[in-house]
Amino acid sequence: MENQAVAEKFQCIVTGVDTSENAQKAFKYAVNFAYREGAKLIICSILEIDQFSVYEVMDEQFMAEKRKELLLQLEEYREYAQAHGVKDLELMTGEGDPAELIVKDILPQTNADLLVIGSRATHGIKGYFGTSASYMVKHSPISVTVIK
């Protein structure tokens, strides 16, 4: 009898979302995968402070509006996931560098065993494997699936 390795079933999936095409594909992949596996899905989005001027960051009303927009977007992601059969959902946010926050803060707070991300974010050099994706693949303590 042949000794076969049994693929471990993922229990908790984290997906990072932004408005890029690759992140949207990764999100939809994560939703479908979580549904098929019966896994918990954690949807996270990071407010990238370095994308704003110092004046914008110091403007409390501007930042409050950006935080509100981020939460509204996350609610739309929740509704999509629920409409596609995912029952166990959690939303997480943060502010700063997405790659570092996901790897150093979000993953340690969860029991996630899979991270699903897009290959490119909304910023950076178009057409290249994103620096955020590259960082997360290199430094993540769990398995990473990169969607292109």
CATH number of the domain encompassing residue 105: 3.40.50.620
pLDDT of residue 140: 95
Residue 9 lies in a domain: no
Mean pLDDT along residues 125-133:
58
Give the model confidence (pLDDT) of 66-88 as tens digits: 999 999 999 999 999 999 999 99
β pairing state of 89-95 and 114-118: unpaired
Task: State yes or no: pLDDT of 3 exceeds 70.
Answer: no
Mean pLDDT along residues 31-60:
95
- In this prediction, what percent of the chain has a pLDDT beyond 90? 76
Contact criterion met (CB below 8 Å) for 74 and 93: yes
pTM listed for this prediction: 0.87
Residue 4 lies in a domain: no
Query: Which run of H or of E encompasses 145?
Result: strand 143-147
Residue 33 lies in a domain: no
Nearest to 35 by CA among 75, 90, 100, 82: 82
Please report, for residues 5, 12, 26, the alpha-carbon distance to residue 9 in angstroms, rounded to integers and kept in the order given.
12, 9, 19
Q: How many domains does the chain have?
A: 1
Give the model confidence (pLDDT) of 28-41 as tens digits: 999 999 999 999 99
- Give the residue numbers spanning the domain of 69: 41-147
Task: State yes or no: pLDDT of 47 exceeds 60.
Answer: yes
Residue 61 lies in a domain: yes
Residue 74 lies in a domain: yes
